């Protein structure tokens, strides 16, 4: 039961920080880049995907230990990276639900080119960012 409470607190704290980061990115992007395109959503998704690439690599490295080499310290690190960072922080930061709403808003207002550009930019840049995050972590190994 203590692990469940710890894990829930990790997810909640990470999610709160991620949500605040997403909010700040949205405000900053609107001020710096204008509001003619959903820049804040794109930036949050790309940054979140890049960070997810890093987290995935860290988790894969932690899982690569043989079962007898997995200490309680490694188990705790795995829980922190998985629950606190991947589920909590990155779940709060990335905004694919907002991406869907932004895209639908553009489509329903007749801005088909903006909607398609939003889809292409978010999907392409986010996939590239995950790959870059994983490549960065591979390079520092």
Decide: 11 and 88 in contact? Cβ < 8 Å: yes
Residue 115 banded pLDDT, cuts 50, 70, 90: very high
Statement: residue 89 has pLDDT above 90: yes
pLDDT at 79: 82
Reduced to 3 states, what is the DSSP secondary structure of residue 64?
coil
Report the alpha-carbon angle 94-14-93, nearest 5: 15
- Position 67 pLDDT exceeds 90: no
Q: Is the dihedral of CA 139, 126, 17, 56 positive or negative?
A: negative
The rounded mean pLDDT for the chain is: 91
Instruction: Quote the pLDDT of residue 71.
Output: 84
Q: Are 79 and 7 in contact (CB under 8 A)?
A: yes
Q: What is the mean pLDDT of residues 98-120?
A: 94
50 burial type by CB count under 10 A (0-12 exposed, 13-18 middle, 19+ buried)? buried
* Surface-to-core class of residue 108, CB atoms within 10 Å of its CB (0-12 exposed, 13-18 middle, 19+ buried): exposed
Higher confidence at residue 72 or residue 15?
15
Q: What is the mean pLDDT of residues 6-10?
A: 92
User: pTM to 2 decimals?
Assistant: 0.81
89-116 mean pLDDT = 92
**Residue 97 pLDDT:** 82
pLDDT above 90 covers a percentage of the chain that reads 67
Q: Where are the alpha helices (DSSP H) in 1-111?
A: 2-33, 39-63, 72-79, 90-93, 96-108
**Euclidean distance between CA atoms 112 and 109, whole angstroms:** 8
């Amino acid at each position: 039961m203590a692990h469940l409470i710890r894990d829930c607190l990790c997810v909640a704290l990470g999610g709160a920080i991620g949500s605040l980061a997403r909010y700040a990115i949205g405000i900053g992007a609107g001020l710096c880049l204008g509001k003619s395109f959903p820049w804040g959503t794109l930036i949050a998704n790309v940054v979140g995907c890049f960070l997810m690439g890093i987290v995935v690599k860290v988790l894969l490295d932690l899982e690569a230990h043989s079962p007898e080499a997995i200490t309680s310290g490694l188990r705790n690190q795995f829980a922190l990276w998985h629950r606190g960072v991947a589920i909590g922080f990155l779940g709060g930061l990335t905004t694919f639900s907002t991406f869907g709403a932004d895209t639908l808003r553009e489509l329903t207002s007749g801005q088909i080119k903006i909607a398609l550009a939003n889809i292409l930019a978010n999907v392409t840049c986010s996939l590239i960012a995950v790959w870059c995050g994983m490549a960065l972590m591979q390079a520092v190994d």
